[in-house]
Structure 1
Amino acid sequence: MIVYTDDAVKASDKIAGYDVDGTIITTKSGNVFPKHTDDWQILYAEVPKKLKLLHESGYKICFFTNQGGIGSGKIKLDDFKRKTKDILKKVGVPIQVFIAIEDGQYRKPLTGMWKHLVEHRNDNIGIDLGKSFYVGDAAGRPESGSGKTKRRKDHSLADRRFAANIGVSFYTPEEHFLNRPTEQYLKPDYQPSEVVTNMNIIPLLEPDNVKLPADNSEMIIMVGLPGSGKSFFCKQHWEKHDYVIANADKLGTTQSCLKICEKALAAGKSCVVDNTNVDVESRKKFLALAKQYNVSCRCFVMNVQLDLVRHNIKYRHLTDSNHSKINEMVFNMMKKKYTEPTVGEGFTHIIKVNLKPSFQSKADEELYKLYLLEK
């Protein structure tokens, strides 16, 4: 993260926060992304007037911007610094600018930039969240209008979720600068804080009278996308009952998993296939093996909605550097292939597993409760 502070900036308990691209400025060229450093202009004539009025009312004005292009080398830092100074000169008020240049805790919607403001860049003056607000164009609005009035859908929800994570009021540029009515947006299907709140209310399994473990040797096939919690469930509920866990991430191949399972079943032990097993074909070989050894095969399906799976993946990347990153293209391919298991495949029972996250620390829990996804 990089911070630029105008010499005339003063600390305040009231923060007027803004995104930059699409909120304070837009491109002169009309392109979504600027062609060069000087391809920008103030978004609306009302922008400088509004900022001046807020400054005179005792607000500290702060910009919070994601600029991953700097971290990747696509944008030169010196060019962006010059652009930032030119923008501040144009708006004509003292401003403090927070720039997230890489993925991680500082990139919106995560709150690292805001925390840095609170803890290190406001002269120890506490911030009143009720008086503060944030304005941004990444608000999750759908496409609207037609012809010359057509507006593209917003590229993400990063700004709206940044405000929600902080706990301040949120406005789009049009609501804030042009006093337009509140705009509609695509609301998320999940709230991570509710997952934590509800985890002691919902049952772990559906139906909730399932017996763990079984009385006799059996095979368990887990089903779920990466990040749905399969391995965590196996560690919590199968390892302690001496089930042999076959995991392709650790063993390398499906064939290796089959060998491990066959060895367990031949010895009269139970085994668990801890892979994604997203389609009928990937489950068929293991079901055939269970049939060969005349043991029952139960299917445990992770009952986790898609956005929450993606949230879990992001959380894992932020908290566990040892875990390999999941390629988005591979994830989408698995999502496309996903086929709900049925008893017709040869399962004796199909059991749904609800997500009940566990945390190493209070800080990890608080992180999980934030919106981590930009869209």
Structure 2
Amino acid sequence: MTSPTKPAKRKQSTLDAPVSPPPLRRKVQSTTTRMSSMVTSRPIYTSADMFSETAVASFFTPASQKPPEKVVWQERAPNDDTPNTLLVGKYEPANDPVSTSNEHESRKKKVAAFDFDSTLIETASGKKFASNSQDWKWWHPSVPEKLRKLYLEDGYRIVAVSNQGGVSLKPNTKAPKAHTSKVASFKEKVSVVFNQLDIPMSIYAATEKDIFRKPRTGMWAEVLDDYDIQPDLNQCIFVGDAGGRHAEGRKPKDFSCSDRNFAENIGIKFQTPEEFFLGEAPRPFTRTIEPADYLPESAAEAIAPFVKKNDIDIVIFCGSPGAGKSTFYWKYLKPLGYARVNQDVLKTRDKCLKVAGEYLSEKKSVVVDNTNADIEVRSKWIDLATKHSIPIRCVLFTAAAQICEHNDAVRALNSTMNPEERQILPGIAFSSFKGRYKPPKVSEGFQDITEIEFKVSLLLAVDGLLSQVR
């Protein structure tokens, strides 16, 4: 696994809100709602009883008489040129029982990170998603005590690291009230949870599918930067419910393996909530992608997989988005003198056909770097080859859907692999290809078909990271 890649520094906003420890390196863009000052007790399960008399009293208390807010919020962007997508909340108790410099130094080595939903808390209503900020309870009664022990006795820095796709930081002009309500509700819920724990703690919430979203390591890089941590990875741990576990008895299978992959990318221990809080034995699991499966088995695989046979011809690629087609062209066919046409660049198939025809008229061989999923589309290129009385060959990319989605994400987030600055594709791009795909056959009119199985040595598109979109 590679080391976490730290996102580029971002532009800072104009509002200062220092927090200690550690001092914030960026400017605060929003503060917690008033709900964080309402909670003084620490009941075990639900939070509904906290929003009655105490809430009313707090509402009518003049601002000058209220205690200072304990959660400070920031919004951050992956870089200077993109919108804010990461929501960060930091809680500092009024009296931190662990305040010596030696104690805080120990927390620069050991980090205990947790997913938020379905790991620290779950809905009180039993619904998949919370109805409002009060719809929560501890995942298990032992959670608060276990977290406090980690901080107070074991010397860990405690953070929550969560994908929050339902919370968007983008302004919604069509439903501004609903947009504001979701963000406010999330902040209120976090404030109540952190107030009950009453230990220094932060939450990092990724709201978009970018470098911050697990299993990518952007949020971990933010944690290390914020707290000036040089972690001992052998002593760090991440706990989350997305472990790729198989169904067992009445227990359903996990919806993904993103939490386990997140820990793997960082290089730290992973446990599920059942293993960490309840001491249960690990269940069998399967990763969506196992990078080792795509490493070359021998030096023979480094041999160029494509040989030019004709003075002038057309080579069309056939394969899913993210299968490595463009990388294959740049590495193997461009050095052979092939010109490239690509619909992402030229926008329409007709324009691709026109430009390809111009190259052929100039006696240049052409690569058609598109998905070319079905017989009807491929027939257009076969007709063009026939018109110019030249052979047409096909290169078929056989990478499975999971590795294609992974490669697409890695490409979009890695500038050296993405000279055309492509964005992460939506899921429909992959399902659409699957629905249209018909395997190419020589009988369609091809001189031959070369199959390319995805390997890192061929396409250089994995970079050792488990970065699928889930």
Does TM, scored on the shorter chain, surpass 0.5? yes
Greater mean alpha carbon deviation, residues 128-137 or residues 181-190: 181-190
Counterpart for residue 133 of structure 1 = 237
| Contact 1:157–1:374 under 8 Å retained in 2 | no
Counterpart for residue 315 of structure 2 = 220
Letter in 2 for 1:203: E
TM-score, with normalisation over the residues of structure 1? Answer: 0.85
Distance between the aligned counterparts of 2:142 and 2:110, measured in 1? 21
Counterpart for residue 36 of structure 1 = 132
Report the CA distance between 1:200 and its aligned residue: 8.5
Report the CA distance between 1:32 and its aligned residue: 0.5
Counterpart for residue 468 of structure 2 = 373
Counterpart for residue 410 of structure 2 = 315
Counterpart for residue 173 of structure 1 = 273
Q: Which of residues 336, 340, 345 is equivalent to 2:435?
A: 336
Greater mean alpha carbon deviation, residues 46-55 or residues 70-79: 70-79
- Residue aligned with 1:109, SS: coil
| Contact 1:139–1:158 under 8 Å retained in 2 | yes
Report the CA distance between 1:251 and its aligned residue: 2.5
- Residue aligned with 2:330, SS: helix
Counterpart for residue 205 of structure 2 = 99
Instruction: Go from structure 1 to structure 2 and tell me whether the alpha carbon gap of 1:374 and 1:156 turns closer, same or farther (over 3 Å shift).
Output: farther
What aligned pairs does 1:13-24 form with structure 2 within 5 A after superposition?
Answer: 13-24=109-120
Distance between the aligned counterparts of 2:333 and 2:114, measured in 1? 49
- Residue aligned with 2:402, SS: helix
Counterpart for residue 327 of structure 1 = 426
TM-score, with normalisation over the residues of structure 2? Answer: 0.69
1:282 corresponds to 2:377: yes
Instruction: Go from structure 1 to structure 2 and tell me whether the alpha carbon gap of 1:176 and 1:287 turns closer, same or farther (over 3 Å shift).
Output: same
Letter in 2 for 1:340: P
| Contact 1:205–1:351 under 8 Å retained in 2 | no
| Contact 1:161–1:374 under 8 Å retained in 2 | no
Matched pairs, number: 357
| Contact 2:132–2:185 under 8 Å retained in 1 | no
- Residue aligned with 2:112, SS: strand
Counterpart for residue 362 of structure 1 = none
| Contact 2:409–2:424 under 8 Å retained in 1 | no
Distance between the aligned counterparts of 1:6 and 1:252, measured in 2? 52
Q: Which of residues 155, 178, 184 is equivalent to 2:255?
A: 155
Letter in 2 for 1:332: S
Counterpart for residue 25 of structure 1 = 121
Distance between the aligned counterparts of 1:51 and 1:332, measured in 2? 42
Structure 1, residues 125-169: CA drift from partner, whole Å, max 9, x if none?
532211221111111223443xxxx34432322211111111111
Counterpart for residue 396 of structure 2 = 301
Distance between the aligned counterparts of 1:74 and 1:342, measured in 2? 54
Instruction: Go from structure 1 to structure 2 and tell me whether the alpha carbon gap of 1:83 and 1:32 turns closer, same or farther (over 3 Å shift).
Output: same
Structure 1, residues 10-38: CA drift from partner, whole Å, max 9, x if none?
45122221111100111011000000111
Letter in 2 for 1:300: V
* Long gaps (5+) in structure 2: 1-85, 99-103, 171-178
Percent of matched pairs sharing the same residue: 32
Letter in 2 for 1:29: S
What aligned pairs does 1:69-108 form with structure 2 within 5 A after superposition?
Answer: 69-72=167-170, 73=179, 76-108=182-214
Distance between the aligned counterparts of 1:317 and 1:125, measured in 2? 28
Report the CA distance between 1:282 and its aligned residue: 1.3
Using CA pairs below 8 Å that are at least 6 residues apart, which structure has the higher relative contact order?
Answer: 1
Distance between the aligned counterparts of 1:23 and 1:99, measured in 2? 14
| Contact 2:289–2:466 under 8 Å retained in 1 | no
Instruction: Go from structure 1 to structure 2 and tell me whether the alpha carbon gap of 1:240 and 1:58 turns closer, same or farther (over 3 Å shift).
Output: closer
Letter in 2 for 1:302: F
Counterpart for residue 219 of structure 2 = 113
Distance between the aligned counterparts of 1:74 and 1:109, measured in 2? 27
- Residue aligned with 2:224, SS: helix
Instruction: Go from structure 1 to structure 2 and tell me whether the alpha carbon gap of 1:268 and 1:66 turns closer, same or farther (over 3 Å shift).
Output: closer
Counterpart for residue 50 of structure 1 = 146
